[in-house]
Amino acid sequence: MPGSDLNRGLEGITVAETRLSYIDGESGELVIGGFPVKELAVDATYEESVFLLLNDRLPAADELAEFRSDLANRREVGDEVRAVLRRAAEEEKPAMDALRMGAAAANLGTGEENPREDARRVIAVLPTIVAAYWRYRQGAEPVAPHEELGHAANYLYMLTGEEPSDPQVRGLETYLNTVIDHGLNASTFSARTVVSTESDVVSAAAAAVGTLKGPLHGGAPGPVLDMLEEVHESGDAEAYVRETLESGERLMGFGHRVYRVRDPRAAVLSTAAERFYEAAGDDSFFETVQEFENVAVDVLAEHKPDRRLETNVEFYTAALLRGVGVPRDLFTATFGVSRVGGWMAHCLEQLDDNRLIRPRSRYVGETDRTWTPVENR
């Protein structure tokens, strides 16, 4: 049917104004809450990054203490949620399924129906949901949240029952800050679409988690780690890259829908990973990671000289999360633990000046069919 130009996937369409993050894909620039990602990710705590997105400013010391305490007080989940997570673990459901189930029940027992309060609850409780599920998967009971630990440290603590080291905490915190928001990506757009109907932010979080589960949005770090560990064992990065490309398969961790140069988040995470592995005395694995990147970029340039393919955020996410101790099966769920801060900020921003999100589609079906009664078909 006649109509406006078709933009598949809404590519190039602007549907919202935001103060939360800015992306320049041509120059490889990412600004979050007004700060270049390389500055915010390294210097901030996750709580500071969340406060920034929710309030459009950094907190003063007393505000940060209050905010951190408030999030810590919202971390617990009830018996009903734990029962669902136990069942998901027993049935060996993927972590993202468990996270979706837990997120949908995030406001059980809270007695709150305030978007800002619910947003804080969702941000606080997602790490508890992921960690409880993982403990059940290991045949162990969940570890209760540690109210004295910060958001990142508490997440690692709930996974193992042991307080993490400072390098582990700083490494994870850098990751959480780096990926907390990134424009109107699929999961964020889904969250904003849900609240644009004047639904609630808990429903928006559940929808966003469901979107993030798809392999095209957030699912690559696990396969990237598999690739890196295989190459670390074989010691032949070039052979792996050439065999992968010659077989027509995609090389995971390279190229991005938005960036035409190296993903700025990859730069931040590569530095964080290098610092972590040096401190941990595990240089050999990280040397494999660096060698793989160099080899892959060169070989990709041979295979696709008209397209510049460089490392994206998922490549160094795999290396860093492996180092700090996040299990491979929880990589995407940990992405959700970070991105929920962005999701909730976008939901509140949408509600501040709401208009129902309602794009159009182009009809390409028949228009002149004649009805035939069932007995005559």
Catalytic residues: 256, 314
Q: Which residues contact 220 (CB under 8 A, 6 or more apart)?
A: 252, 253, 312, 314
Alpha carbons 88 and 72: distance in angstroms, whole number: 25
Dihedral sign, Cα of residue 238, residue 241, residue 245, residue 246:
positive
CB 123 within 8 A of CB 341: yes
How far is C-alpha 190 from the chain's CA centre?
A: 14
CB 201 within 8 A of CB 195: yes
Burial 248-269 (b: 16+ CB within 10 A, else e): eeebbbbbbeebeebbbbbbbb
- What are the CB-based long-range contacts (under 8 Å, 24+) for 295-303? 295/237, 295/238, 295/241, 296/237, 296/241, 296/251, 296/254, 297/254, 299/238, 299/241, 299/242, 299/245, 300/241, 300/245, 300/251, 300/254, 303/245
Alpha carbons 176 and 181: distance in angstroms, whole number: 10
CB 174 within 8 A of CB 151: no
